[in-house]
Structure 1
Amino acid sequence: MTESDKPETSDNSDNASFELAKAAAQVIEDNNGRDICILDMRHLTPIFDYFVIGTGGSRRQLHAMSEEIDDKLEKELGDRRMGREGYDESRWILLDYGTIVCHLFDEETREYFQLEQLWADAKKVDLTGILRNPGE
């Protein structure tokens, strides 16, 4: 296991963007998304803090995850989405909340772009205690 593959263990509990990232990951899990991960980007770029990545099995599932992330982050947590890309094509939906960016993929597109490898220097957040079934 390389250094970048080790889960992030620092305490992020007081970080508002981390709370948004956790909430988005939980919504993905609640909608039966798979291969969920949060990448800590804070030491790599000043533009955003976290990537939240998940995989869905169908266009309908990706739309549901996207819409429920919007509901959770905007209505319950008071944040506002700054942009959305790929919703109509539904192979890769990108939701930009400024400090976090959610990437929702179908399986083929996620495998093709391999964001975790592209951003290999990002630390993976340990999802134990955040998701019911981390790593699934």
Structure 2
Amino acid sequence: MKQVALEVAKFVHDHKGGRTVALYVGERSGFTDYFVITTVSSFGHLKGLVGQLYDLLDEYDLRPHRGRRRPVEEGWVLLDCGPIVVHLMTSELREFYDLERLWFGSDVLFDGGSDPEEG
């Protein structure tokens, strides 16, 4: 599943996700093994990325536990696929919730940096 988490992280990074990271949280979490976190630039970006991400997850036979849902304008979509949880967030919400700080000390599998063109 580690390789799939890396593929998901690279995918969202390549699709203009900002500051994309993939963390191994399995030793600290009772509900998942990997977090993929990225920043979206707008609601349109969020909607488009979610749609494309569903197709990628299908390729790996991963299904979000709550099914496919359309993004709402709250600015945060969480796709809980069991062993991998994907967080797509606006910069404001990402800064406020600071998930990387909450999971500080987790192994970083992928770090796309601040610019989607890097990494």
TM-score range, shorter chain: 0.7 to 0.9
Deviation of residue 89 (structure 1)? 2.4
Deviations 1:17-51 (A, max 9, x none): 21221222122122211100011101102321100
Counterpart residue number, 1:83 = 66
Counterpart residue number, 2:86 = 102
TM-score normalised by the chain length of structure 1: 0.75
Q: Which runs of 5+ in 2 are unaligned?
A: none
Matched ranges for 1:48-127 at <5 A: 48-74=32-58, 76-83=59-66, 87-127=71-111
Q: Identity of counterpart residues, as a percentage? A: 30
Q: Which runs of 5+ in 1 are unaligned?
A: 1-16
Across the aligned residues of Structure 1 and Structure 2, the Cα RMSD in angstroms comes to: 2.2
CA contact (8 A) 1:73 1:80 kept: yes
May I ask how many residue pairs the two structures share in their alignment? 115
TM-score normalised by the chain length of structure 2: 0.84
Counterpart residue number, 1:43 = 27
Q: Larger RCO: Structure 1 or Structure 2 (Cα < 8 Å, ≥ 6 residues apart)?
A: 2
Following TM superposition, the consecutive aligned residue runs of length 4 or more in structure 1 with deviations greater than 4 angstroms are none
Which of 58-67 and 19-28 deviates more? 19-28
